Structure 1
Amino acid sequence: MYLGEQLISPTDERLRLSAQLGCEGIVIDTRPNPELLTGDGLWDVAKITQQRKWVESYGMSCDCLALDLGSLLLDSLRNLERAKIRAAQLRQHIQAAGEGGVNMVKFTVAMVGITRTGVVDGRGGMKCSTFKASDYAPETDARFSYWGTVLPEDGETKSASPVYDKSNPETGGQMLANEAGGISFEEGWRAIEFMIDELLPTAEKAGVRLACHPHDPAYPREGLNGVHHVLGSLEGMKRFIALAPESPSLGFNFCQGTIAEMSSDPNAIVLEAIREFGPRQKIFMVHFRNIKGGYLDFREAMPDEGSVDMAASIKAYREVGYKGILCPDHVPLSDVDPGRERFFAYCLGYTRGLLQTIS
């Protein structure tokens, strides 16, 4: 295992910092990624190669690119023609990534954003994004949720969330749960199966791994505003892999925080998931993050203060033979660290300490 960071539109200075903090790999999380696009909106192999070599020039590997699904999943249920057009574009992106020397792309199956309901104070007054199902309302969803690459608000600014700017491509085609028109359990699986059918054969041929981020957060069993999160449970994750169990190209962007949110015993379910998917080589990359709380009631947290025993997680990854990247993610917000670089540096140092001490 090795340290890495997930960066949105990094600069030379930011890559220098990652290298100086000891990162060995970088995940480019820019969605959409204009630096890779041709005039017709498709990824260009030469530009991917250039971006990869740029990262490598700092002594790090370019492990993964973010595949922006846009509204593919919801369109597959509502506007099949548009979904087919988007799927063709995504197949070209996957092929270009492989030809450009990047053998993994990641995506999220969120159709309605990463739902949050507020912000609470954490250690030292840091601001921690929270989800409490009993507090859900469309207004708090719009204000406090993650939309594509748009971070949630800190609870103090007065501007509207960018989700209201429907032309903003950074929201990734996502919408509020009460705007989606309802997504049943069966429809959720139908959309995911459509995506896999459309993309997996190309990924296998190109030698590219598809790293799927499960639904964040787990919704109530009966859904939320008629929307069901079918990959919001360990059972759902197992069913996802069962769609193509022998494929080397189908696996997870294994987000520890998201998996912890699926259970009232976060530590137990994280360890169970590692031991379920690790030996099958279905963990392609890891978001090494923590939460405080559990199913339907949690806040995000720094890695050392949450409900998951991070040292036990490292030990479990070693036991199952995972050798990939560990990235911090979803760190809290603070006015003393507005760019969150110090918080991310803390996470990296904490993770390095675990890697050096846990055998």
Structure 2
Amino acid sequence: MLKVSVTVNTSDLTDLDLQQMSQLGVDCIDFGAGGSFAGVQDQGFPDLDKLLKLQKRIRSYGMDINRVTLPNITDDFMLNRPGSELQLQNSVNAVKVFGEAKIDIVRQRFEGDVFYGLSRNYKAIQRGGAISRGESLGMMKEKKETPTLEELENWWEAVQRAYKELVPTAQDSGVRIAMHPSDTPHPDSPFGGIGLHRIIDDFPNKNVGLVYCIGTRAEAGGSSLVLDEINHFGRKGRIFLVHFRNVRGSLPTAGAFEEALLDDGDMNMFKLLLELRKVGYDGCINPDHVPTMAGDKPDLDTRWEHSNIGWKTSSLGFAYSVGYIKALFAALTEFEG
């Protein structure tokens, strides 16, 4: 059964946070920051007892934890610097902890999976003055250099080295490990259209798959690309979580894109939901990177300027998006009979 999840970037959730989520009909919570769990700063990986207490508290509001993020893999590991193997061990230990808590989707972040400085962020003003993230290739006059082929291959070797430890641990722990596409999806980005295939080809394991981000992939090619990828990866059972985001334009077609409200972008989101159902997807639908409405207090990150990336109390953008998705679910039920 399809469910709605929202992303938070802290584990310090207030009663108001949980109450508002519950009132909106949110089913699950996704944790987007690997360092936010108790224990990570002290021992390098989450504390099981404190995680179970957090899980119990969330369940008391009728929700559950859906996806979590492992401790970050930094440049030290990617460049194989002395002592960096501890980062991988911390992630392995985190997988075991999440497995003990019966949390079955984890994401590993890798430094260098996004090429920054190739497009210009700008404030996009949309319907009624709503603010969203825009990015333009043409506005970026001085672009940073991208890695060489040799550097990218060395980077991939580091990812493979990490996955060779993480994947068997995930399988033994009953956990699925999901990769998010590179955002922004500039050409040759490691987890772009080719890289998403590569991670699955390198590790043909049912526990290896994707946090499939509709918005990020639409930035790379619009509705047709998204529909093709949902069909391809969905038929293989490799879509573990869906980020449900609408956009205007794309880098290949317009040289720019703007994130948009679910009903106000280029894509028909109901059509995408039908494609997900057709391939048998029954996980969470997560509205992410929500435009900021008047009165909102957005959760901002300098990497994605003007993009509301995580839940905040009294966020009209998130409330609107959750309601829109639940309405799509109701329409889907009637459509399917």
Which category describes the TM-score, using the shorter chain as reference length? 0.7 to 0.9
C-alpha contact 1:217 1:232 (8 A) present in aligned 2: no
1:131 deviates by 1.5
C-alpha contact 1:108 1:214 (8 A) present in aligned 2: no
Q: Tell me which of 326, 329, 339 is aligned to 2:288.
A: 329
Query: What are the Cα deviations for residues 152-191 of structure 1, in whole angstroms up to 9, with x where unaligned?
Result: xxxxxxxxxxxxxxxxxxxxxxxxx669899843234223
Partner in structure 2 of residue 257 of structure 1: 215
What stretches of structure 1 of length at least 5 have no aligned partner? 142-176, 221-227
Q: Tell me which of 322, 326, 337 is aligned to 1:348.
A: 322
Report the TM-score when normalising by structure 1: 0.79
SS of structure 2 residue aligned to 1:81: coil
- CA distance, structure 2, for counterparts of residue 326 and residue 182 of structure 1: 35
Specify the code of the residue in structure 2 equivalent to 1:346.
Y
Indicate yes or no: 2:111 matched with 1:136: no
* Equivalent residue pairs, number: 309
- CA distance, structure 2, for counterparts of residue 193 and residue 67 of structure 1: 16
Greater Cα shift, 323-332 or 29-38: 29-38
Query: What are the Cα deviations for residues 222-245 of structure 1, in whole angstroms up to 9, with x where unaligned?
Result: xxxxxx412122x32112111112
Identity across aligned pairs (percent)?
Answer: 28
SS of structure 1 residue aligned to 2:169: helix
Report the TM-score when normalising by structure 2: 0.84
C-alpha contact 2:114 2:189 (8 A) present in aligned 1: no
Specify the code of the residue in structure 2 equivalent to 1:324.
G
C-alpha contact 2:227 2:272 (8 A) present in aligned 1: yes
Partner in structure 1 of residue 240 of structure 2: 284
Partner in structure 1 of residue 70 of structure 2: 67
C-alpha contact 2:71 2:94 (8 A) present in aligned 1: no
1:299 deviates by 0.9
Closer, same or farther: CA 118–64 of 1 in aligned 2, 3 Å: same
1:301 deviates by 0.8
Indicate yes or no: 2:106 matched with 1:105: yes
Closer, same or farther: CA 77–337 of 1 in aligned 2, 3 Å: closer
1:313 deviates by 0.6
Q: Tell me which of 146, 161, 164 is aligned to 1:194.
A: 161
Closer, same or farther: CA 48–34 of 1 in aligned 2, 3 Å: closer
1:79-94 pair list within 5 angstroms: 79-94=80-95
1:41 deviates by 2.9
- CA distance, structure 1, for counterparts of residue 115 and residue 266 of structure 2: 20
Closer, same or farther: CA 131–68 of 1 in aligned 2, 3 Å: farther
1:249 deviates by 1.6
Closer, same or farther: CA 63–83 of 1 in aligned 2, 3 Å: same
Specify the code of the residue in structure 2 equivalent to 1:309.
N
Greater Cα shift, 313-322 or 25-34: 25-34
C-alpha contact 2:37 2:51 (8 A) present in aligned 1: no
Partner in structure 2 of residue 299 of structure 1: 258
Specify the code of the residue in structure 2 equivalent to 1:357.
A
- CA distance, structure 1, for counterparts of residue 156 and residue 33 of structure 2: 27
Query: What are the Cα deviations for residues 314-335 of structure 1, in whole angstroms up to 9, with x where unaligned?
Result: 1011111111001110012345
- CA distance, structure 2, for counterparts of residue 34 and residue 77 of structure 1: 23
Partner in structure 2 of residue 125 of structure 1: 129
C-alpha contact 1:112 1:180 (8 A) present in aligned 2: no
- CA distance, structure 2, for counterparts of residue 231 and residue 112 of structure 1: 7
Aligned CA RMSD, in angstroms, stands at 2.4
SS of structure 2 residue aligned to 1:39: helix
C-alpha contact 2:113 2:189 (8 A) present in aligned 1: no
Closer, same or farther: CA 200–123 of 1 in aligned 2, 3 Å: same
Closer, same or farther: CA 183–214 of 1 in aligned 2, 3 Å: farther
SS of structure 2 residue aligned to 1:281: coil
1:1-12 pair list within 5 angstroms: 1-9=2-10, 10-12=13-15
C-alpha contact 1:110 1:216 (8 A) present in aligned 2: no
- CA distance, structure 2, for counterparts of residue 127 and residue 187 of structure 1: 39
C-alpha contact 2:249 2:257 (8 A) present in aligned 1: yes
- CA distance, structure 2, for counterparts of residue 107 and residue 330 of structure 1: 19
1:82 deviates by 3.6
- CA distance, structure 2, for counterparts of residue 196 and residue 90 of structure 1: 10
Query: What are the Cα deviations for residues 77-118 of structure 1, in whole angstroms up to 9, with x where unaligned?
Result: 423434311001110011111012212212344527685622
Q: Show structure 1 runs of 4+ deviating over 3 A.
A: 36-39, 107-110, 112-116, 177-185
Partner in structure 2 of residue 207 of structure 1: 174
